[in-house]
């Protein structure tokens, strides 16, 4: 079974109460259960984490690179400005799928730029919690094809 880290950035611990008109009413706990259940169906051992701390996120990304673990990442606000996260992600050794619950391109202009997209295998955005399911499906396919950090 392939281990996958599902990493979530700042404010995603507030899912369910934070701007439900944008992010829905699903909680982080609900999202974690969805990801783990999806992972089981895809033969993936999914571990879901959330942090508001950029340094902690960097440690997790380094861990994944060192252990060749695929990442599904919702960088949240880090998406738009965290060059340290981008540099850490550039060291990846396994697939990296950037996910967003909403569609950043359809929101405020400052959300239109992702500094991490250029080092990701791909980006899935705008499908609500289904973005995570689609990302895990992509990871499963990439792992089955034997792709590493393409």
Residues acting as catalytic residues: 23, 100
Helix 130-144 and helix 28-41, axial crossing angle in degrees, nearest 10: 30
Q: Is 74 within any annotated ligand binding site?
A: yes
Q: Is 80 within any annotated ligand binding site?
A: yes
Beta-carbon count within 10 A of 99 CB: 27
Burial status of residue 14 (CB atoms within 10 A of its CB: 0-12, 13-18, 19 or more) = middle
Q: Is 41 within any annotated ligand binding site?
A: no
Query: Which residue in 64, 60, 40 sits closest to 133, CA to CA?
Result: 40
Q: Is 131 within any annotated ligand binding site?
A: no
Q: Is 124 within any annotated ligand binding site?
A: no
Three-state SS at 66 = helix
Q: Is 150 within any annotated ligand binding site?
A: no
Alpha helices in 77-127 (DSSP H): 83-89
Annotated binding site for substrate, which residues?
A: 74, 80, 87, 101-102, 111
Annotated binding site, which residues?
A: 74, 80, 87, 101-102, 111
């Amino acid at each position: 079974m392939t281990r996958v880290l599902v990493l979530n950035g700042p404010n995603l611990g507030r899912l369910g109460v934070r701007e439900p008109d944008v992010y829905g009413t699903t909680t982080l706990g609900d999202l974690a259960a969805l990801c783990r259940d999806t992972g089981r169906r895809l033969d993936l051992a999914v571990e879901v984490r959330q942090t508001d701390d950029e340094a902690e996120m960097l440690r997790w990304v380094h861990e994944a690179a060192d252990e060749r673990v695929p990442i599904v990442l919702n960088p949240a606000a880090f998406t738009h400005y965290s060059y340290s996260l981008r540099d850490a992600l550039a060291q990846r050794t396994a697939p990296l799928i950037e996910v967003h619950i909403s569609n950043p391109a359809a929101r405020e202009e400052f959300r239109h730029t992702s500094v991490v997209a250029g080092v990701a295998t791909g980006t899935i955005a705008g499908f609500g919690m289904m973005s995570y399911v689609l990302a895990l499906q992509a990871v499963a396919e990439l792992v089955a094809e034997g792709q590493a950090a393409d």
